[in-house]
Structures are given as structure tokens and as C-alpha cells.
């Protein structure tokens, strides 16, 4: 496995143009890697001839500088994990390599960014689009792999790829969970013992909502979720939305004729956790 810090080094290692006889797969990450990331890299390795993973904590997608400073960083452990999962190249640039000049591009994702994470984290998805577009330009992969825990992010990245006409396939990968159901996240490392013990209630409540969807209406389902989460002293509901899985717009009724996704964000102290499940 090779570790590179510059785009020039990266391009030297990867096949390009007419000489390209291997499929290049790419897994972008912000580090603090866990088994969820491993599953992305392993799938990429199975499906592609060359697997590249990036480690870069992107400052432009943090609307809260305190959150940026608190984000866990563990480069040495991350490299060890990637080496064990079939990764061929680790791209670990510094901020100046990705942003030699400030990125002033403004993306418009329409209604996709007006709800849920986009509504609460102003500028977040613009920062995501900035960094992912730059990383895709650096790696030039055939396929890029993203976990469905960040359900809205995948929709935004897919729309960005469409808008920019990038020749890359966005591959969606299932959420990987801890044995107690908690969706794997780098932010889980920031939880206190009490918060970590409480956090599986998020997934438990989502799965209970799936069981209730045929017997209650939408307001009752939202009330059930809010009551279940907020009853725990270590958790506080930020939002629970049932949205059309394609457009991400909130449904008016559980009877709406579309594939529906239940999306949730919960605070455990200052740590914000997200999760989602398919309803129907």
C-alpha cells in the first residue's frame, strides 16, 4: 500500500487515459476510520482493480468551528486499518493541497439541500460538494463508494456529479451497525460512557417506527419517535422526518405513493448523530 500526500504523487501512481486497463475505485473519508469504512474499502477492492482511499478532514463543510476542532483524528490507526482491508493507495493531503486558493464556488442543489441536514447546517453541503469534486478530479475514479448512513449526502453528491458531468459511478453501500444497533460513525468515539449506552435507542426507535408504520398515521409516528428519544436523559431529538427517498422532500402522509425513508438526527450531549431506515 502506498501513502501519498500530493495530487502529483497520486497521479503518478494511477493509470490514466489510453494506458488505463484497471478500474479505479475511490473511498473518500475524513479519517477516524471504523468497520463501516472498512466495508466500503473491501467492497471497492472486490469490484475494482485499484482502490484509493482519501483521509482529509474538510474544513469547508463544518459550519461550527468547534465541531471541526473536536472531530477525531487518528491517521496512524487509519493507515493500519486501510492496509488490512485491501486498499492500494492512501491519499492524505493537507489543506493547502486541496485548497491552494480559497474555493468560492457556490453550488445549487435545489430542494435536496433545503431540508434536514441542509436546513440545520447552513453551507454544509456546499462544502461537501467543494471537497468531493476536488477529490474526484484528483483521483479520477471510475466508481466512488459512499455509506448510506449519510443518506442526504449521497443524494447531493449524485446531483453534483450530474451537474458537473463527471464520469464516475456513485455506489451506495448499506449502513454498518454495532452489535447493539448503533450506526457506526466516527463521532461515536466522542460519546461519554453514559451517552454511548443510550445511543442504541436511536436505531431501536427507528426500527420500532418501521413496525408501526402500518398502524399509525404520520403525526402519531412522529410523536412516538420524539417521545421515545426525549425520554432518555442523555438524548435530545433534533429532527425526525419521513421523506420521499428520491426527492428527500417530507411526505404529507404515510400513504404517499413513493419509496419512503425515515431520517433522524439526535444530540447526545454536544455530539450529533444521524441515522435512517427504509420505511416502505
Catalytic machinery residues: 37
Q: With contact defined as beta carbons under 8 Å apart, do 199 and 275 qualify? A: no
CB 57 within 8 A of CB 31: yes
**63 DSSP 8-state letter:** S
Q: Which residue has cell 399509525?
A: 216
Query: In this structure, what C-alpha cell is assigned to residue 191?
Result: 460519546
Question: Cα-Cα-Cα-Cα dihedral of 91, 105, 153, 20, to 10°?
Answer: -40
Q: What separation, in Å, do the N-terminal and C-terminal C-alpha atoms of the chain show? A: 42
Instruction: Please give the order of strands across the beta sheet that includes 89-91.
Output: 2-4, 89-91, 50-55, 24-29, 143-147, 169-173
Distance of alpha carbon 148 from alpha carbon 275, whole angstroms = 9
Gap between the Cα atoms of 64 and 233, Å rounded: 24
Q: What are phi and psi of 231, to 5 degrees?
A: -70, -20
Instruction: Quickly count: other Cβ atoms within 10 Å of residue 236's Cβ.
Output: 13
Residue bearing cell 442526504: 152
For cell 491552494, the residue is 100
Amino acid at each position: 500500500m502506498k501513502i501519498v500526500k500530493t495530487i502529483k504523487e497520486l497521479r503518478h501512481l494511477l493509470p490514466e487515459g489510453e494506458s488505463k486497463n484497471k478500474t479505479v475505485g475511490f473511498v473518500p473519508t475524513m479519517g477516524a476510520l471504523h468497520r463501516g469504512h472498512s466495508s466500503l474499502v473491501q467492497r471497492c477492492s472486490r469490484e475494482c482493480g485499484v482502490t484509493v482511499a482519501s483521509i482529509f478532514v474538510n474544513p469547508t463543510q463544518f459550519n461550527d468551528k468547534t465541531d471541526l476542532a473536536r472531530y477525531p483524528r487518528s491517521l496512524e490507526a487509519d493507515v493500519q486499518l486501510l492496509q488490512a482491508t485491501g486498499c492500494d493507495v492512501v491519499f492524505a493531503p493537507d489543506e493547502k493541497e486541496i485548497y491552494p486558493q480559497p474555493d468560492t464556488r457556490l453550488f445549487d442543489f435545489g430542494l435536496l439541500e433545503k431540508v434536514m441536514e441542509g436546513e440545520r447546517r447552513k453551507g454544509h453541503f456546499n462544502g461537501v460538494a467543494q471537497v468531493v469534486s476536488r477529490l474526484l478530479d484528483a483521483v479520477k475514479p471510475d466508481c466512488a463508494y459512499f455509506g448510506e448512513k449519510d443518506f442526504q449526502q449521497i443524494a447531493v453528491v449524485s446531483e453534483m456529479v450530474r451537474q458537473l458531468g463527471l464520469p464516475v459511478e456513485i455506489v451506495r453501500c448499506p449502513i454498518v451497525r454495532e452489535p447493539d444497533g448503533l450506526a457506526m460513525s466516527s463521532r461515536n468515539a466522542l460519546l461519554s460512557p453514559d451517552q454511548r449506552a443510550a445511543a442504541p435507542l436511536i436505531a431501536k426507535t427507528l426500527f420500532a417506527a418501521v413496525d408501526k408504520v402500518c398502524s399509525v398515521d404520520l403525526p402519531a409516528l412522529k410523536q412516538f419517535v420524539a417521545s421515545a428519544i426525549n425520554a432518555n436523559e442523555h438524548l435530545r431529538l433534533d429532527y425526525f422526518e419521513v421523506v420521499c427517498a428520491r426527492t428527500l422532500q417530507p411526505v404529507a402522509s404515510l400513504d404517499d405513493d413513493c419509496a419512503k425513508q425515515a431520517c433522524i438526527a439526535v444530540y447526545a450531549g454536544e455530539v450529533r448523530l444521524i441515522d435512517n431506515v427504509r420505511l416502505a
